[in-house]
């Protein structure tokens, strides 16, 4: 069976990509440290940091450091395919319809009026970056998407797998996310898109998903499943004349896989476990392994521990890009912003209670305890680094009470309802309680994150660096921590600290992009306005 040809590309950019031309930049940096060629942007960048040494008497010595990096970014934007695991779910069908709406410049009517497509909620497509100041000292902003050459999401070629055989039009109708008038206009195209068969290991997802599982890769041989998925990726790439494919997991939340010495603790043990079809090798890990062996970036958008230690070692061995875990769309994004604010304001959160209910298939799957446990872990660790950053508020090993509750309520559909309460200690023994109620369409927040994850991952395949001690340019580490802004439980390079604070995650994206074009890190000192 040939992969579905869901060519959603936009003609002008496709022509540019196939001709090997680079898009014209919105701005150019005028600096001896930056060079533009037909193929690359080359920059030199001084990275300043502070090395702190703790003394025996408890004092500290702070020493400014400087490291010079060189960056090389390929300017030609390739033709990119995105394959989604769980293409027929709410996120996959919603995203597919939205890209068709952009491609075809559709408008649709609801009771509130006429609407047109947008990419609101996408940090790459709908946010700006402060570039600098003009001659009068006024701030100048540019779209983040124009900082470096990035793929236009309207040009994505879409495909993927699903355990359900419904075509994308049927999946969109089942999801009940988008307005009827929009669904009506994209139904014909989406009815021609059918997911490839996927893999189904019943022990990893809730039993209530069994009735969907009618589109399966046969057999129980996990190595055969890896090889089957690898062939799917190759066939999809060839059939659609693609330069690159990015695979993203937007399927059901799995239970956590047990970490077992001799099974998934090392790269070789994990490969042996796959060969032996070990019961603790999860479906998401099979997809990740197939991508790693195929040299295709893989992003995990669900909270399970897809990337067991052996898989991370394999990604490093193959120099393959991976990222995860769990889309950070609504409640957790607000939590990572609010706790960051409170702690930095010297206010001490002592209890965080998060209750939410939803009625989509994600909620149905999470009504099973083992799958819920995966989500609970990803949502409850989001404040750890912010708490650890302030030992004036928190003693060693002290942590706020943190409770997460998720309930399945079918009648609310994709409209997720989230209630958060923050209990804080304030001045002189006082207490502050903050309650927040958030209602949102879950898939309309998650879909733009998928766009950002794919765009930024693809960009990182074209961005390389070197230091003065390195003989040649190198790709960044396999674990793409730059994706942390979009993920609840961000993966980082082994041995490095996790950053959950939303402002720091966003600043990291901005400043890496700035470094790649030879601009200094953004700061908010505003000295041009503060000195005579």
Catalytic one of 7, 375, 385, 452: 375
Q: How many CB atoms lie within 10 A of CB 30?
A: 7
Catalytic one of 222, 416, 420, 452: 416
- Alpha carbon distance 449, 444 (integer Å): 9
Strand pairing of 348-358 and 401-408?
A: parallel
Active site residue 188: no
Q: Which two tokens stand for residue 108?
A: 């649709």
**Residue 47: CA count within 13 A, CB half-sphere:** 17
- Alpha carbon distance 417, 411 (integer Å): 12
DSSP H or E segment with residue 353: strand 348-358
Active site residue 44: no
The angle, 0 to 180 degrees and rounded to 10, between the axes of the packed helices 90-103 and 442-460 is 70
Catalytic one of 326, 340, 362, 442: 326
- Alpha carbon distance 350, 432 (integer Å): 10
Active site residue 176: no
Please name the residue that has the structure tokens 């797998």.
161
Looking at the chain, the number of H-run helices and the number of E-run strands are: 15, 20
Active site residue 488: yes
Q: How many CB atoms lie within 10 A of CB 457?
A: 24
Instruction: Kindly compute the dihedral angle of the four CA atoms of residues 80, 83, 84, 90, in this order, to the nearest 10 degrees.
Output: 70
Q: Residues with catalytic annotation?
A: 326, 375, 416, 488
């Amino acid at each position: 069976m040939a992969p579905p040809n869901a060519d959603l590309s936009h003609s002008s950019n496709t022509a540019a990509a196939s001709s090997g031309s680079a898009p014209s930049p919105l701005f150019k940096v005028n600096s001896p440290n930056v060079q533009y060629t037909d193929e690359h942007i080359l920059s030199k960048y001084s990275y300043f940091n502070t090395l702190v040494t703790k003394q025996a008497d408890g004092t500290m010595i702070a020493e400014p450091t400087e490291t010079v990096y060189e960056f090389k970014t390929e300017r030609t934007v390739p033709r990119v395919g995105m394959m989604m695991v769980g293409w027929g779910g709410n996120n996959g069908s919603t995203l597919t319809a939205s890209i068709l709406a952009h491609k075809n410049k559709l408008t649709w009517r609801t009771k509130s009026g006429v609407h047109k497509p947008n990419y609101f909620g996408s940090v790459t497509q709908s946010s700006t970056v402060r570039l600098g100041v003009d001659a009068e000292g006024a701030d100048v902003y540019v779209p983040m998407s124009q900082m470096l050459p990035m793929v236009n999401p309207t040009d994505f070629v879409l495909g993927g797998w699903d355990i359900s055989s419904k075509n994308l039009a049927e999946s969109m109708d089942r999801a009940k996310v988008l307005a009827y008038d929009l669904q009506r206009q994209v139904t014909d195209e989406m009815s021609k898109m059918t997911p490839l068969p996927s893999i189904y290991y019943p022990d990893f997802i809730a039993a209530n998903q069994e009735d969907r599982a009618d589109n399966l890769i046969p057999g129980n041989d996990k190595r055969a499943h890896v090889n089957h998925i690898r062939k799917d990726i190759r066939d999809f790439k060839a059939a659609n004349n693609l330069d690159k494919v990015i695979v993203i997991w937007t399927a059901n939340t799995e239970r956590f896989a047990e970490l077992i010495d001799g099974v998934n603790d090392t790269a070789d043990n994990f490969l042996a476990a796959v060969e032996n079809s070990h019961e603790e090798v999860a479906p998401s890990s099979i997809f990740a392994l197939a991508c790693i062996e195929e040299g295709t970036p893989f992003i995990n958008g669900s909270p399970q521990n897809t990337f067991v230690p052996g898989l991370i070692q394999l990604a490093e061995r193959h120099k393959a890009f991976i990222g995860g875990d769990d889309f950070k769309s609504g409640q957790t994004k607000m939590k990572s912003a609010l706790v960051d604010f409170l702690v930095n304001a010297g206010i001490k959160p002592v209890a965080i209670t998060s209750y939410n209910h939803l009625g989509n298939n994600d909620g149905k799957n999470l009504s099973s305890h083992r799958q819920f446990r995966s989500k609970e872990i990803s949502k409850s660790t989001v404040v750890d680094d912010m708490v650890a950053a302030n030992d004036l508020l928190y003693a060693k090993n002290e942590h706020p009470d943190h409770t997460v509750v998720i309930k399945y309520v079918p009648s609310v559909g994709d409209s997720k309802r989230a209630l958060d309460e923050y209990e804080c200690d304030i001045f002189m023994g006082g207490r502050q309680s903050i309650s927040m109620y958030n209602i949102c369409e879950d898939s309309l927040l998650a879909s733009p994150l998928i766009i950002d994850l794919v765009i930024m991952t693809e960009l990182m395949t074209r961005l390389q660096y070197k230091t003065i001690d390195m003989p040649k340019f190198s790709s960044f580490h396999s674990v793409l921590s730059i994706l942390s802004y979009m993920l609840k439980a961000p993966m980082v390079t082994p041995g490095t600290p996790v950053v959950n604070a939303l402002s720091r995650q966003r600043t990291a994206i901005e400043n890496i992009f700035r470094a790649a074009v030879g601009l200094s890190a953004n700061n908010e000192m505003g000295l041009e306005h503060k000195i005579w």
